Amino acid sequence: MPLTNSLDLTLKTLPIGVTLVAVSKTRSVNEILELYNAGQRNFGENKVQELLQKQEVLPKDIQWHLIGHLQKNKVKYIVPFIYMIHSVDSLDLLKVIQKEAEKNNRTISILLEIKIAVEDTKYGLSFEDASFILSEVKSGKFPNIKIKGFMGMASFSDNKEQIKNEFSSLSSFYLQHKEEHNLDTLSMGMSNDYPIAIECGSNMVRIGTKLFGARNYTNI
């Protein structure tokens, strides 16, 4: 199926108010351009090196989302252009983003990544640590950071109830803090679980496989 068709089909499944981040990791510049020419502007990558290579050659009005784990020493490369960082999982990382954002005279939109899955291989903050970071940012120590909300990944599982419980826990946490901290983004849902995520209140989905087909990691 042509990519523009799968984009249309995917967009049709999203309610108004839910933003599609097309996850383009491992995909070629030409594939990204095909979706860009069909009107898609939000793209997500999980590796800094790959993001930089693509950003350099692709149209400058693409809104790039960093969705994978971010090492502190790589922050400086993405801060000049990044649209949103979904994977902020420590106060130390936030401090580095603040420093680089100030140098670049930018305000960086970020999401705190929260660990909601049972697997312990996944990165992410506890609700408690996230609350602490929210209060630190509110106190004015991070003038070049805007926390927009949270990102979470559910367990890799066929158990819909479990996935639903995990997304719901993050959704409640989001609703608890939304007003006080002026949040507007809840990034939950990938190809296999995004309808559940939307049911639970997600307003940003990160979809790769459903748009582009299965990934082939050998031809990056």
Ligand X SMILES: *Cc1c(COP(=O)(O)O)cnc(C)c1O
Using CB under 6 A as the binding rule, whether residue 68 contacts ligand X is answered as: yes
Using CB under 6 A as the binding rule, whether residue 27 contacts ligand X is answered as: no
Using CB under 6 A as the binding rule, whether residue 191 contacts ligand X is answered as: yes
How far, in Å, CA of 89 to CA of 114, rounded? 7
Question: Least CB distance from residue 123 to ligand X, whole Å?
Answer: 9
Kindly give, in sequence order, each residue whose CB lies less than 8 Å from that of residue 140, ignoring residues fewer than 6 positions away.
Answer: none
The alpha carbon of residue 127 and the mean position of all alpha carbons in its chain are separated, in whole angstroms, by: 18
Nearest residue to 88 (alpha-carbon basis) of 62, 115, 106, 121:
115
SS3 content of the chain, % helix, strand, coil (to 5): 45, 20, 35
Options 6-14, 134-142, 175-183, 206-214: segment touching ligand X (CB under 6 A): 206-214
Using CB under 6 A as the binding rule, whether residue 116 contacts ligand X is answered as: no
Using CB under 6 A as the binding rule, whether residue 24 contacts ligand X is answered as: no
Using CB under 6 A as the binding rule, whether residue 124 contacts ligand X is answered as: no
The one among 97, 108, 163, 207 contacting ligand X by CB under 6 A: 207
Token pair recorded at residue 88: 């902020």
| Stated length of the chain | 220
Options 7-15, 126-134, 163-171, 201-209: segment touching ligand X (CB under 6 A): 201-209
Residues of this chain that interact with ligand X (CB under 6 A) are 23, 25, 46, 67-68, 190-192, 206-210
